Structure 1
């Protein structure tokens, strides 16, 4: 009986060790992906003081375009499109992204935008998709009018200490964002990345540019937009979650006559509600990865070693096959009888 129990314990121990290795090296790494049912929290960046162009209609019906100074709040909301993602297989998610910027003091909308983007579930980077689109008008965005690339809202699971490509919406292309340091931020150990975009021309549609010149640079017949920006991101490396964000952006209208006019200048950062929400989401993902990728395999490995050891000891205690045989007793020789 001991031999049977020992063999059973030994087999269970080996099974536990194999399951531990499979979890740690195969199952969990293969599942380091954005959940298909994930609905990210709304993200808000704001600043107490910014310079920006505001276009509005006066009570008498006259249009007005002026440079204002006030606090700004930009909100980004994401709604996953599960049906469209299902058509692309299990490795891609489709997000409908809604963005609006409002004055903090009056609540007036300054601008809005809408996008559709396909993202790789493991790397977080944009992937080619015919349905990608972006619009900053009231009209629905037209599929295929943009080619998103690089990181937009997520970094890879297991983010590395290296440069990545990060999307710049003003220039409409990805640019390098460099790893700078490892530091504590928002209660988490993070990698800090920074993207620096030096002064350069930025495209603007001819109608909008003509409108700006007409209101802000009377007498000018042409002009360009000068743009520069610095973005700093704090990324929780295991989950790829962006838990901190700062964007310093400056844009100027440069007419062919007269002085440049600042049309946007702001230093935007996550508000406290966003900091709390993204930290909670990152902590939840990190805890699950640690549980399934380390603690459960460790527990199974320890259990497996204990069972294997117990099985070996019981098998040895059972002795050789056939059981123990008692030593034979030597019979005394018969005593001879005298004749």
Structure 2
């Protein structure tokens, strides 16, 4: 019976050690991937100064920007996720809906843009391959560079290229420090686009500048909070837009929960479970060795005060 128990303990120990290794080195390839079922709505709000074309004066307004990010699961695969993003910015007047069209009698629509991007599910880096049909506002010649809607898993305290679909540039998002948010330590990055030539509208020359600040949960790479300061000028230097938009509290709470859940899952699969399996495996092997030695090495307990009889030896 004890021989059977020793064998069981050895088997359990080997299983624990092997399983610990598998979870430690194989689980990250499964757990640390962008999911293929995203359907996220993020709302950002803030003050704005917008040029009134009729009066030639800047108006003080409030903007509401609604970004929806959905995974195109049919186009995505095991290595690449394809997401379709829409961004609708409206004047926050009379509790507007998520988006409006140009026929709105109060003329509250400011802009509506789309962005279809493919990204590596682990590194979050943009992937440019015609089979994913990426585009910006329908322009299939647009090329994405760097990060788009999230950071890589286990983000570093370094700079990352952060793509801006308006300018179609990817300035460096510099690491500028850490900050506590919703009980988690965030990495804070800032990407600046200095004033550059860019049309204000169709056939309206002008210039553009933008500063984006994001708070990233480093384990998952999720952007939990974002602030964007955007400015535009006409060709003669007249300011056409100056706005600062910040994730609203619902968006921050949602992103924080996603980050917290993802971080817990990654920690469970890559740290806690392997450690538990390792300890169980080692304990089982130690128990097997102890039981084997206590039984004299052959599975039969020696009598007290009498040395064990050697097999094959005459008495």
Q: Does the pair score TM above 0.5?
A: yes
1:65–1:80 Cα change, 3 Å: farther
> Which of 1 and 2 has greater Rg?
1
**What's the counterpart of residue 186 of structure 2?**
190
| 1:177 lines up with 2:173 in the alignment | yes
- Offset at residue 273 of structure 1 (A): 0.8
Q: Judge conservation of contact 1:125–1:154 (CA < 8 Å) in 2.
A: no
- Offset at residue 327 of structure 1 (A): 7.5
**What's the counterpart of residue 332 of structure 1?**
none
- Offset at residue 114 of structure 1 (A): 1.6
| 1:101 lines up with 2:73 in the alignment | no
| 1:71 lines up with 2:67 in the alignment | no
Alignment of 1:256-295 (within 5 A): 260-295=237-272
Q: Structure 1 unaligned segments of length 5 or more: list them.
A: 56-62, 136-140, 210-223, 329-339
**What's the counterpart of residue 52 of structure 1?**
50
Q: Judge conservation of contact 1:181–1:193 (CA < 8 Å) in 2.
A: yes
Q: Structure 2 unaligned segments of length 5 or more: list them.
A: 97-107, 309-315
The one of 200, 203, 207 aligned to 1:208: 203
Q: Judge conservation of contact 1:41–1:278 (CA < 8 Å) in 2.
A: no
Distance in 2 (alpha carbons) for counterparts of 1:109 and 1:204:
15
Distance in 1 (alpha carbons) for counterparts of 2:246 and 2:72:
28
- Offset at residue 268 of structure 1 (A): 1.0
- Offset at residue 155 of structure 1 (A): 0.5
Q: Judge conservation of contact 1:41–1:277 (CA < 8 Å) in 2.
A: no
Distance in 2 (alpha carbons) for counterparts of 1:66 and 1:77:
32
Deviations 1:151-208 (A, max 9, x none): 1101001111111000122321211111111221233211111112222222456x43
Q: What's the secondary structure of 1:315's corresponding residue? A: helix
In the superposition, the TM-score normalised over structure 2's length comes to 0.85
**What's the counterpart of residue 16 of structure 1?**
16
In the superposition, the TM-score normalised over structure 1's length comes to 0.79
1:315–1:197 Cα change, 3 Å: same
Farther off after superposition, 188-197 or 315-324: 315-324
Deviations 1:205-233 (A, max 9, x none): 6x430xxxxxxxxxxxxxx4222222111
Distance in 1 (alpha carbons) for counterparts of 2:142 and 2:274:
44
